[in-house]
Amino acid sequence: MFEYFYHEILRKTVIAFGTLFNGMTIKHTDSSDDVVSEIKVPLAYGPMQKFLARLEQSPDLNKPVQISLPRMSFEFIGLNYDPSRKVTTTQTFITANTANKSQEKKVYMPVPYNMQFELNILTKLNDDMLQIVEQILPYFQPSFNLSVNLISEIGEKRDIPIVLDSITMNDDYEGDFTTRRALIYTLRFTAKTYLFGPVSSATADIIKKVSVGYLAGTSGPGAKAVGRDVTYSVEPRATKNYDGNYVTSISSDIGDAVTSISVDDASSITENTYIVIDDESMYVSKVTNNTLTVKRAQDGTTAASHVTGTGVGTITASDNALIELGDDFGFDGGFV
């Protein structure tokens, strides 16, 4: 039933959540409001109890440097299914392979899951805590969208809402004046992510030939059936110069209405083919020495002016093997 796959979606979401709080700083000022120190708050993955234990242990066990405040830690603490974002489980979608645009990949619709996170802020001074919290809260109203590349193989990127659920405060101070104090704020978040199943190759190949046949005639009571069998057969083609090869260059400037184009060498260009100059596609109806008679603005492109020396590319059978997903092969919904 099951097959091995690992998109690292949970791991990527954990990392993305942690990066939200990188680079937090606090500043200390003197009586004249001049900044006397600026501290970057360290961030680490781990439970709050781990850092409290290190904070309270004997300094001799943590030489040469004792854990310092302020600091922040975060932890992935829960995972549960979200039925409110459910979609049809058997529905699939097809997309292109990012490494090879001519290959299609199929994947089932994602399953919505909520990931719970806990962010712990530990400080010694109350003002330090207020500075950190005030730099975080304005971004959550109550959510903040975080773009995550969930499956790089198919380029599946989604905005993951990070929702701030609650804030709790704790002043961990008991004992005499020699006891170290720790102010602790705990912020709980929910990340609304998606989990994808295995990605497989699409079973359908790119269409290489299309045939349409129908029978035209009369029918009805007493009518004599007179029919005519009509068949249209078309070999689709690429509409772009995918390989990027140039066979020659234009030898003079051309305007957007010119239909006769001079090139340096037309030996590699044949009649009844297509060429590309800049972003404009043209149909070559005649080749005379180094002069091409063309039809401008083919395949939905726009006629434009081109300067001397611009490369001329050809659309050949080799481009068909490089067609990207979504190319319509020159079909515009009608017959020519």
* Domain CATH number, residue 197: 3.30.2000.40
The pLDDT confidence band at residue 200, using thresholds 50, 70 and 90, is: confident
Q: What local confidence, expressed as pLDDT, does residue 334 receive?
A: 45
| 105 and 192 together in one domain | yes
Residue 262 belongs to some domain of the structure: yes
CB 242 within 8 A of CB 327: no
Tally Cβ neighbours within 10 Å of residue 230: 10
The pLDDT confidence band at residue 3, using thresholds 50, 70 and 90, is: confident
Residue 328 belongs to some domain of the structure: no
The pLDDT confidence band at residue 13, using thresholds 50, 70 and 90, is: very high
Q: What local confidence, expressed as pLDDT, does residue 335 receive?
A: 42
| 116 and 40 together in one domain | yes
| 139 and 78 together in one domain | yes
| 133 and 190 together in one domain | yes
| 32 and 178 together in one domain | yes
**Average pLDDT in the 19-23 region?**
89
Final residue in a domain of this structure, among 201, 231, 265: 201
d(CA 228, CA 244): 45
Residue 217 belongs to some domain of the structure: no
**Can you give the residue range of the structural domain that contains 266?**
246-320
Q: Quick one: tokens of 50?
A: 């781990």
Residue 21 belongs to some domain of the structure: yes
d(CA 59, CA 66): 6
The pLDDT confidence band at residue 116, using thresholds 50, 70 and 90, is: very high
Phi, psi of 35 (to 5 degrees): -70, 120
Residue 38 belongs to some domain of the structure: yes
Which H/E stretch holds residue 320? Answer: helix 317-320
Number of domains within the chain? 2
Q: Which residues pair with 114 in a beta bridge?
A: 80, 192
| 260 and 161 together in one domain | no
Residue 252 belongs to some domain of the structure: yes
Residue 118 belongs to some domain of the structure: yes
| 171 and 259 together in one domain | no
Mean confidence (pLDDT) of the chain = 80
| 30 and 127 together in one domain | yes
Top pLDDT among 243 and 119 is at 119
| 65 and 122 together in one domain | yes
| 195 and 305 together in one domain | no
Tally Cβ neighbours within 10 Å of residue 238: 22
| 119 and 173 together in one domain | yes
Residue 301 belongs to some domain of the structure: yes
CB 320 within 8 A of CB 277: no
DSSP state of 139: G
| 44 and 160 together in one domain | yes
